């Protein structure tokens, strides 16, 4: 399935590095999301974008910086991360963000990030 793609699939970075995660959706959806999934913890919503505008930031540290240049692409820029930021970062998209069946979300395969 290639509805939502993410690159890279794996990333190892030092605490002083700057890197970016990329997500692309081919479903014609209007909303895109970033989630973090740490070991043995539920998925945590980080950011929500609707038609390139950020509609929610769930108290995420500023070392994570999202960017949505158009409705098909979403980036997560990373800088000066901490080892506890190591996790699986998942991108998702949905038709709309405001609830109901249009909020059915489709996930990309994720980027497994390790911060050393």
Partner 1 sequence: RKEVEQDPGPFNVPEGATVAFNCTYSNSASQSFFWYRQDCRKEPKLLMSVYSSGNEDGRFTAQLNRASQYISLLIRDSKLSDSATYLCVVFSSASKIIFGSGTRLSIRP
Residues that bind partner 1 (CB under 8 A): 33, 41-45, 48, 50, 55-56, 58, 90, 97-101, 103-110
> What's the chain's length in residues?
116
Which of 16/101 has CB closer to partner 1?
Answer: 101
* CB of residue 18 to partner 1, shortest distance in Å: 25
Which of 17/37 has CB closer to partner 1?
Answer: 37
Angle, vertex CA 72, rays to CA 77 and CA 106, nearest 5? 90
Which of 66/110 has CB closer to partner 1?
Answer: 110
Which of 80/105 has CB closer to partner 1?
Answer: 105
Report residue 62 as tokens: 């500023």
- Cα-Cα-Cα-Cα torsion 23, 26, 28, 33, nearest 10 degrees, comes to -20
Comparing CA positions, the residue from 67, 92, 87 lying closest to residue 77 is 67
φ and ψ of 35, to 5 deg: -125, 155
* CB of residue 95 to partner 1, shortest distance in Å: 12
* CB of residue 74 to partner 1, shortest distance in Å: 15
């Amino acid at each position: 399935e290639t509805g939502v793609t993410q690159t890279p699939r794996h990333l190892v970075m030092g605490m002083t590095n700057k890197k970016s995660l990329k997500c692309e959706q081919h479903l014609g959806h209007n909303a895109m999301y970033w989630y973090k999934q740490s070991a043995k913890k539920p998925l945590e919503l980080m950011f929500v974008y609707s038609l390139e505008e950020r509609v929610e930031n769930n108290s995420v540290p500023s070392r994570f910086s999202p960017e949505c240049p158009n409705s098909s692409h979403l980036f997560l820029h990373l800088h000066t991360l901490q080892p506890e930021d190591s996790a699986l970062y998942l991108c998702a998209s949905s038709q709309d963000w405001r609830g109901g069946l249009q909020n059915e979300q489709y996930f990309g395969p994720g980027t497994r990030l390790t911060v050393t």
